[in-house]
């Protein structure tokens, strides 16, 4: 059985760009993709701006009919109610967000998020028809102590335990030591772990789920290394931090098919 998984190029802006900067940036991305006649039918592009930018991004995307998806970088596990400072999936859904990042390593380490909480946040997103991009990955210490795949597999298993049957999710494998370090995993290393993740989710949720679920690699992705990652059978896209803040670089990454020579 072979399913065609549409490649997904996702830009995680982290805490960068206020709403005015976001408007200028998204406009430039729109022009740039237009100029290069980017094939959005075959490569999906999604950006993850800060919460305060989402309304502006929505307005621009709608007005200019940009075929760029957008999502949030976090979501509450709760529905609307007395949770000061939190943002409910219901609000994101009203803003047209199609995706939300859950379990990014910066949230795991700076906010102490557990796999159980990440699972609950992902489930809250799913209830509103929003696809969670569930991040997993090992630290340098984990890598040393247990090898690359052990921790990501354990994280995927624990997060999936909180989700309903046959959910629509994306999994992002992001080795923590590769994030923002300029030191990406090799394509072979990334394939090994993404392949193991696909095997694990197939074991847990069946073949159709394993086949349809997109698995991304993240960690120091740039235009020079994207093609190698995208050639791997179990890597369906990338989650990009630093390089997603530069119009030209992000556009070049989205054009990865041009650099692939098989
Ligand atoms: P980076 O970040 O591309 O800057 O390494 C990736 C991420 O944190 O999602």
What pLDDT, in 10s, does the model give residues 135-185? 999 999 999 999 999 999 999 999 999 999 999 999 999 999 999 999 999
* Residue 104 annotated to the active site: yes
Asked if the model's pLDDT at residue 1 lies above 60, the reply is no
Determine which residue's CA is closest to atom 7 belonging to ligand 1.
241
Q: Measure the N-to-C terminal CA separation of the chain; round to a whole number of Å.
A: 22
Bridge partners, 9 (sequence order): 45, 238
| 4: DSSP letter | P
> pTM (2 decimals)?
0.96
- In short, whether 245's Cβ falls inside 6 Å of ligand 1 is no
Q: What does the pLDDT look like over 20-60, one tens digit per residue?
A: 999 999 999 999 988 887 777 789 999 999 999 999 999 99
Q: What does the pLDDT look like over 185-202, one tens digit per residue?
A: 999 999 999 999 999 999
Domains and CATH numbers, the chain: 18-259 (3.20.20.70)
C-alpha 52 to ligand 1 mean position (Å): 20
Q: Given the CA of residue 219, which atom of ligand 1 is nearest to it?
A: 5
DSSP-derived 3-state class of residue 172: strand
């Amino acid at each position: 059985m072979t399913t065609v998984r549409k490649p997904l190029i996702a830009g995680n802006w982290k805490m960068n760009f206020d709403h005015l900067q976001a408007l200028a940036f998204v406009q430039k991305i729109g022009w740039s993709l237009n100029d290069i006649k980017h094939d959005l039918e075959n490569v999906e592009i999604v950006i993850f701006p800060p919460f305060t930018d989402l309304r502006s991004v929505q307005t621009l995307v709608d007005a200019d009919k940009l075929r760029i998806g957008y999502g949030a970088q976090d979501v509450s596990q709760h529905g609307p109610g007395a949770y000061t400072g939190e943002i409910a999936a219901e609000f994101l859904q009203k803003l047209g967000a199609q995706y939300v990042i859950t379990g990014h390593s910066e949230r795991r380490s700076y906010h102490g998020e557990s796999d159980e909480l990440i699972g609950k946040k992902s489930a809250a997103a799913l209830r509103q028809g929003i696809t969670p991009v569930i991040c997993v990955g090992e630290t340098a210490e984990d890598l040393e102590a247990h090898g690359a795949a052990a921790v990501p597999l354990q994280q995927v298993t624990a997060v999936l335990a909180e989700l309903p049957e046959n959910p629509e999710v994306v999994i992002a494998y992001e080795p923590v030591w590769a994030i923002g370090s300029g030191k990406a995993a090799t394509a072979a290393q990334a394939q090994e772990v993404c392949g193991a993740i696909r095997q694990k989710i197939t074991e847990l949720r069946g073949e159709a789920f394993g086949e349809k679920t997109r698995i991304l690699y993240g960690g120091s992705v740039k235009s020079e290394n994207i093609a190698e990652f995208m050639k791997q059978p179990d890597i369906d896209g990338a989650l990009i931090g630093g390089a997603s803040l530069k119009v030209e670089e992000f556009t070049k990454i989205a054009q990865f098919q041009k650099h692939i020579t098989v």
